Chains A and B, each alone.
Chain A
Amino acid sequence: MSRPRPGRDDSPDRLYTLTGGRSRAGSDAFDLVTLVVAESDPVPGMQSEHASILRMCRFPTAVVEVAAGLGLPVSITRILLADLHDTGRISARHPRASYRLPDHDILEQVLVGLRNL
């Protein structure tokens, strides 16, 4: 509650610079809960946001968690993730697609998990 909302103080110019002004279709593949895993370590000279993502994702980390950790809007985060994905520096574990309703097995697993809380 006390933390300022992320992205608030970022001028559009700064956000533009981060992404080189691109908006890209490939970034739509990243759902809010796609789990991202780093496949390599940061290297010197890398854009600092890219390096931060690689450090954050040594263990699986959801796109929203990456966005919150970077303090950047999800839309910008998706573009940065797509860059890293294109160069093989991260892998993405997408949510298992369900068309309209979740399947019975998944619901059973969720229920068991919740009851064990």
Chain B
Amino acid sequence: MDSVTSEQRQTLHSTADNGLKIVVVGGFGVGKTTLVRSVSEIRPLNTEETMTQAGEGVDDTGGVAAKTATTVAFDFGRISLDAHNVLYLFGAPGQERFWFLWDRLFSGTLGAVVLVDTRRLADSWYAIDRLEHHGTPFVVACNDFGGPVHTAGQIREALDLADEVPLVFCDARSRESSKQVLITLVEHLQSVVAQDPTPQPIPEPAP
């Protein structure tokens, strides 16, 4: 049943020194965890990030503005790419009410996979909007739940996808298929990088 068991490793190489991130985002139950599990060398783990936002305005006493805490749970898996690079895959809820946390949670991500169920295309509108707005490159992967067959053209139209955004069909339960989705994303990133004429500013040194 679990085809990756033989390849599971619990610890990273002692030489591992560069963590990379890809986000898998999509509506409820669309197969995010399944996709992560299919390619991960560890059983997906879950954790949560708590965000504290200063409340609007300051109270009359001139004290600290009220703060509200919001908690978002997410799961993740891991792929050791080579002696130095380790890729972490994050499954993140794509609902509007979680989305304001996205920038903080996944800053520095290579790119994103938007997983969609073609029976519920509208569930992914918001995620696509935000990724476009944020300038994060992404691919759209249609997870096969055996719904009515749509052509790629119909799906592109319903999602109002830009021509350059790759659209693929997948089965998140399959390791090979999920791996292909990730490869499509990285190839897309390569073409985005190749086309970007702006020189890369020197990054700020880590504090």
Contact = CB atoms under 8 A, between A and B. Distances in A.
B47 A67 contact: yes
Nearest to B201: A99
Contacts of A60: 12-14, 16-17, 86
Interface in A58-116: 58-62, 64-65, 67-68, 73-76, 93-104, 106-115
A41 interface: no
Contact of B39 (A33, A59, A102, A117): A117
A113 B193 contact: no
A112 B85 CA distance: 11
Interface residues of A, number: 50
A22 interface: no
Interface of B is mostly: mixed
A102 B46 contact: no
B48 A73 contact: yes
B86 to A, nearest CB: 7
A28 to B, nearest CB: 7
A98 to B, nearest CB: 7
A65 B46 CA distance: 9
Nearest to B74: A64
Interface stretch (B115-123, B141-149, B156-164, B178-186): B178-186
Contacts of A46: none
Nearest to A63: B19
Contacts of A115: 183
B135 A100 contact: yes
Interface in B55-100: 71, 73, 76, 78-82, 84-88, 90
Given A60-B17, A114-B183, A73 B201 contact: no
Contact of B192 (A6, A73, A101, A109): A101
Given A5-B73, A101-B137, 16 more contacts: A23-B52, A29-B206, A31-B19, A59-B16, A67-B47, A75-B50, A93-B19, A95-B18, A97-B205, A98-B203, A99-B201, A101-B189, A102-B193, A107-B189, A110-B20, A110-B85
Interface of A: 1, 3, 5-7, 23, 26, 28-29, 31-35, 58-62, 64-65, 67-68, 73-76, 93-104, 106-115, 117
9 contacts: A7-B48, A33-B21, A59-B12, A59-B13, A61-B11, A64-B47, A95-B108, A102-B189, A110-B87
